């Protein structure tokens, strides 16, 4: 093993054919005995940068890791690949601790994982006696007080660095702006380290933002989103503990298995929730930012933020917990302006208040962007790319721009005549000529601009005013009840001929989800289930998460390549030598079962079901089958009634079902479509009414 090259270790131990960008450069720099700072995005392969050198050096590598869960994940995965490694932390009994310490002292381990507290407090007692070839400091941003996960123990590592000047140190993190990078070098005492800065771009993550969505509508949207992704793990991030618990209760009440996670829970409860999520015991975690740092669960398919995050670094790290296996995954950020008030309240007594306020503003700029979100996100980390990504809500539905000068002047005039003492919602009601109690009590119906914007809907005005704020024409006084104020630029727009370009609202009905093209014939759900069952049983037997056996990316590659023998299994992504020896033949036996199974002609509804499983919409399925959309709808309803895994809420919202229900009740339970269609004035089409009937007939809705 010691004479192997980095590339051979990558293939034989980890089962990968190629290094990712910067990995080999970091490995070679480390092998030359020099210090490094490695900035790689979550899922970018930071651990390979020190694990490969650890298997080449003749002595042991110490890995300083801030979380017990992170240590366990890493050790489980390495052990499954046949690597000699261990961790020492508070979960171990004295006997186990002594056994591992003896192994370390006698150079029987390739890697030993320690917490920063253990590394600092016990270095002079026994760690300095170990045969150490490399020290890897994971989550290195924790050393910086500017970072979002500051751990004071990291600051004490500098003293150890000075005691062992001939051992290379490598500091690794997924998120660090320029200020934090400088802090990492200075606070750890690294010796002229080389900076390896990988691209922060995660093209497999779709990016979307939803602003000013009322709570009930948000609940419906998120519920339907999760229902359309059955068995896919996800995280809902919230600012407060109360919101975490509320969201978890809401999802459980609606049939989605969920748990909450926050710092107010006991350590035992948090560990149990985390372990359950890692082992797929439930689908969703509703958590504060206390959850997730270092969680190496590769099959998280989506991340939703219920509130605006406090900075871009934290947001980037949190969305980075989705799609670590490189497969397509979704991220959605919901926010409103009260989030900004709450975030500013959190930092009002901080000595670094000005810096933190600026970080909140940058996060808000991202949320309010009307151009490619990935460009905005990457530019924050100093990575400038002017090419639109095609995988964010802006790129998928680019806005049309109009001359917005008159719209802006109407809003500015209404704000001015209201004494600049109204918030967004009240200003919109003034512009639209609404008849509300608050408006009449404050005599706002008497001002000259009352009703001048009645041609636009409430949502349209909300869209326009958000842009005026983002353009710096108006601003929100966060310390004055969120009142809208006119800026100096706004004064110019109001009084002169300044050009104002505003985007038109995107019709959400036209949104289409970008799909990754299929790479081959769709495997039968039976063979997928067998592989997943095998994975789960093996994981349970070995007491490790299922993805440690093989992850979803390996599963996809198995189904794509269909290896016939052990030699062909070597070409499957993630299948290293030890895994092939341990259970390769069993995998081949499962795959061969489908090959030998007799094929049968599919019925017309089954053909539609295959297209549904690929994620095609109604129009795409109709075009593929060369039939009408109502025919496709009838097929889906039949499959739904036969208890197939068809989610009609992919095509109709809960609100629309309730509308049909109310009208149908008024019409005394009619089974005809036209009376309901007419009563709803054509606002819900016949296809949706048919699906609503199926849902209502199957359940007491």
Of the pLDDT bands very low, low, confident and very high (cuts 50, 70, 90), residue 3 is: low
635-649 pLDDT tens trace = 898 888 888 888 888
> Cβ of 292: how many Cβ atoms within 10 Å?
24
Q: Does some domain include residue 518? A: no
Q: What is the mean pLDDT of residues 405-415?
A: 94
CA dist 452 to 406, 412, 419, Å? Answer: 11, 12, 17
One domain for residues 533 and 627: no
Name the residue range of residue 621's domain: 604-698
Domain boundary among 144, 179, 197: 197
Beta carbons of 605 and 638 less than 8 angstroms apart: yes
Q: What is the mean pLDDT of residues 349-359?
A: 80
In the predicted structure, residue 225 carries a pLDDT above the cut 90: yes
One domain for residues 72 and 189: yes
Q: What is the mean pLDDT of residues 516-544?
A: 72
Say which residue, 603 or 26, is predicted with more confidence. Answer: 26
In the predicted structure, residue 256 carries a pLDDT above the cut 80: yes
Going 50 to 51 to 52 to 57, the CA torsion angle's sign is: positive
One domain for residues 133 and 262: no
Q: What pairing do the DSSP bridges indicate for beta strands 401-403 and 474-477?
A: unpaired
Q: Does some domain include residue 469? A: yes
CATH of the domain at 97: 3.40.50.300
Q: Does some domain include residue 152? A: yes
In the predicted structure, residue 1 carries a pLDDT above the cut 50: no
Say which residue, 149 or 61, is predicted with more confidence. Answer: 61
> Cβ of 43: how many Cβ atoms within 10 Å?
21
Q: Does some domain include residue 475? A: yes
In the predicted structure, residue 522 carries a pLDDT above the cut 70: no
Name the DSSP class of 564: -
Q: How many domains does the chain have?
A: 5
Q: What is the mean pLDDT of residues 661-667?
A: 86
pLDDT the model gives residue 506: 61
pLDDT the model gives residue 518: 40
Q: Does some domain include residue 346? A: no
Q: What is the mean pLDDT of residues 402-428?
A: 93
In the predicted structure, residue 89 carries a pLDDT above the cut 90: no
Query: 257 φ, ψ to 5°?
Result: -70, 120
Q: What is the mean pLDDT of residues 145-154?
A: 71
Mean of per-residue pLDDT scores for the chain: 86
One domain for residues 231 and 297: yes
Beta carbons of 61 and 112 less than 8 angstroms apart: yes
pLDDT the model gives residue 149: 65
Beta carbons of 261 and 286 less than 8 angstroms apart: yes
Of the pLDDT bands very low, low, confident and very high (cuts 50, 70, 90), residue 317 is: confident
Of the pLDDT bands very low, low, confident and very high (cuts 50, 70, 90), residue 178 is: confident
One domain for residues 42 and 160: yes
One domain for residues 31 and 85: yes
Using CB atoms within 10 A of its CB, is residue 626 exposed (0-12), middle (13-18) or buried (19+)?
A: exposed
Beta carbons of 677 and 686 less than 8 angstroms apart: yes
pLDDT the model gives residue 524: 57
Of the pLDDT bands very low, low, confident and very high (cuts 50, 70, 90), residue 699 is: low
- Which residues fall within 8 angstroms of residue 584, CB to CB, at 6 or more apart? 566, 569, 575
CA pair distance 371, 375, nearest whole angstrom? 8
Name the DSSP class of 416: H
CA pair distance 272, 686, nearest whole angstrom? 47
Beta carbons of 422 and 484 less than 8 angstroms apart: yes
In the predicted structure, residue 289 carries a pLDDT above the cut 80: no
One domain for residues 433 and 551: no
pLDDT the model gives residue 146: 59
Which among 40-49, 81-90, 293-302 has the top mean pLDDT?
81-90
Beta bridge partners of 131: none
Name the DSSP class of 141: G
One domain for residues 44 and 132: yes
Q: What is the mean pLDDT of residues 396-419?
A: 91
Q: Does some domain include residue 89? A: yes
One domain for residues 384 and 262: yes
> Cβ of 220: how many Cβ atoms within 10 Å?
18
In the predicted structure, residue 511 carries a pLDDT above the cut 50: no
Name the DSSP class of 510: G
In the predicted structure, residue 112 carries a pLDDT above the cut 90: yes
pLDDT the model gives residue 417: 94
DSSP notation for 301-370: EEEEESS--S-HHHHHHHHTTS-TTSS-EEEEEEE-HHHHHHHHHHHTT-TTHHHHHHHHHHHHHHHT-S
In the predicted structure, residue 169 carries a pLDDT above the cut 60: yes
Domain boundary among 351, 380, 396: 396
pLDDT the model gives residue 700: 47
pLDDT the model gives residue 701: 40
One domain for residues 637 and 687: yes
Domain boundary among 543, 569, 596: 596
Name the DSSP class of 429: H
Of the pLDDT bands very low, low, confident and very high (cuts 50, 70, 90), residue 686 is: confident
Q: Does some domain include residue 389? A: yes
pLDDT the model gives residue 291: 64
Q: Does some domain include residue 1? A: no
463-487 pLDDT tens trace = 899 888 867 788 887 667 778 999 9
The lowest-confidence range among 406-415, 588-597, 656-665 is: 588-597
The lowest-confidence range among 231-235, 318-322, 375-379 is: 375-379
Say which residue, 168 or 179, is predicted with more confidence. Answer: 168
Of the pLDDT bands very low, low, confident and very high (cuts 50, 70, 90), residue 690 is: confident
pLDDT the model gives residue 512: 36
525-534 pLDDT tens trace = 688 888 888 8
One domain for residues 166 and 47: yes
One domain for residues 479 and 613: no
The lowest-confidence range among 54-58, 346-350, 599-603 is: 599-603
Q: What is the mean pLDDT of residues 31-58?
A: 91
548-600 pLDDT tens trace = 888 888 888 888 888 888 888 888 988 988 888 888 898 888 888 765 555 55
Opening angle at CA 60, ends 59 and 63, nearest 5: 150
* pTM for the whole structure: 0.65
Beta carbons of 464 and 415 less than 8 angstroms apart: no
């Amino acid at each position: 093993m010691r004479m192997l090259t980095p590339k051979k270790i990558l293939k034989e131990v980890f089962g990968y054919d190629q290094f990712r960008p910067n990995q080999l450069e970091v490995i070679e720099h480390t092998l030359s005995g020099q210090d490094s700072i490695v900035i790689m995005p979550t899922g970018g392969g930071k651990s390979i940068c020190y694990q490969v050198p650890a298997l080449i050096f003749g002595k042991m590598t110490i890995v300083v890791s801030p979380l017990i869960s992170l240590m366990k994940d890493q050790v489980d995965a390495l052990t499954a690949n046949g690597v000699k490694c261990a961790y020492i932390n508070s979960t171990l009994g004295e006997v186990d601790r002594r056994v591992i310490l003896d192994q370390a002292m006698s150079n029987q381990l390739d890697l030993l994982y320690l917490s920063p507290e253990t590394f600092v407090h016990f270095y002079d007692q026994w760690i300095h006696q170990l045969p150490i070839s490399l020290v890897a400091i994971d989550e290195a941003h924790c050393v910086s007080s500017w970072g979002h996960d500051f751990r004071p123990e990291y600051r004490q590592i500098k003293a150890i660095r000075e005691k062992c000047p001939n051992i290379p140190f490598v500091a690794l993190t997924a998120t660090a702006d320029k200020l934090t990078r400088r802090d990492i070098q200075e606070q750890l005492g690294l010796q002229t380290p080389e900076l390896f800065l990988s691209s922060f771009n995660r093209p497999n993550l779709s990016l979307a933002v939803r602003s000013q969505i009322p709570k009930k509508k948000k609940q419906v949207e998120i519920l339907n989103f999760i229902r359309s992704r059955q068995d896919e793990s996800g995280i809902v991030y919230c600012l407060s503990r109360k919101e975490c618990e509320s969201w978890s209760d809401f999802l459980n009440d609606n049939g989605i298995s969920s748990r909450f996670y926050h710092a107010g829970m006991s350590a035992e409860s948090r560990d149990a929730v985390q372990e359950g999520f890692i082992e797929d015991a439930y689908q969703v975690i509703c958590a504060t930012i206390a959850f997730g740092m270092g969680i190496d669960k590769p099959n998280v398919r989506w991340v939703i933020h219920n509130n605006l995050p406090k900075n871009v670094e934290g947001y980037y790290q949190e969305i980075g917990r989705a799609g670590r296996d490189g497969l397509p995954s979704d991220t959605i950020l919901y926010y409103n302006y009260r989030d900004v008030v709450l975030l500013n309240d959190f930092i009002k007594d901080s000595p670094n208040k000005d810096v933190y306020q600026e970080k909140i503003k940058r996060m808000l700029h991202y949320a309010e962007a009307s151009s490619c979100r990935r460009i905005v996100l990457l530019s924050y980390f100093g990575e400038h790319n002017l090419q639109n990504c095609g995988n964010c809500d802006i790129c998928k539905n680019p806005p049309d721009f109009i001359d917005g000068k008159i719209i802006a002047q109407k809003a500015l005039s209404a704000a001015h005549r209201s004494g600049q003492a109204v918030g967004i919602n009240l200003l919109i009601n003034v512009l639209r000529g609404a008849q509300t109690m608050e408006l009449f009590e404050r005599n706002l119906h008497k001002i000259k601009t009352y009703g001048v914007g009645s041609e636009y809907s409430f949502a349209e005005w909300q869209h326009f005013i958000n842009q005026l704020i983002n353009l710096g024409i108006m601003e929100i006084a966060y310390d004055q009840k969120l009142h809208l104020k006119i800026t100096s630029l706004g004064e110019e727009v109001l009084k002169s001929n300044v050009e104002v370009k505003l985007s038109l609202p995107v019709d959400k009905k036209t949104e289409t989800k970008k799909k990754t093209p299929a790479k081959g014939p769709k495997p039968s759900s039976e063979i997928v289930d067998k592989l997943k069952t095998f994975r789960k049983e093996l994981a349970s037997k070995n007491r490790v998460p299922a993805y440690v056996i093989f992850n979803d990316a390996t599963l996809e590659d198995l189904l794509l390549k269909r290896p016939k023998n052990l030699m062909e299994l070597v070409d499957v992504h993630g299948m290293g030598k030890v895994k092939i020896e341990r259970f390769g033949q069993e995998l081949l036996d499962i795959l061969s079962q489908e090959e030998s199974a007799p094929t049968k002609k599919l019925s017309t509804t089954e053909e539609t079901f295959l297209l549904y499983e690929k994620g095609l919409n109604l129009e795409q399925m109709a075009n593929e089958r060369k039939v009408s959309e109502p025919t496709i709808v009838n097929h889906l309803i039949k499959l739904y009634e036969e208890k197939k895994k068809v989610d009609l809420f992919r095509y109709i919202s809960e609100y629309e079902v309730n509308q049909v229900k109310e009208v149908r009740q008024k019409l005394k339970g009619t089974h005809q479509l036209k009376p309901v269609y007419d009563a709803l004035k054509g606002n819900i089409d016949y296809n949706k009414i048919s699906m609503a009937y199926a849902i209502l007939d199957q359940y007491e809705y």
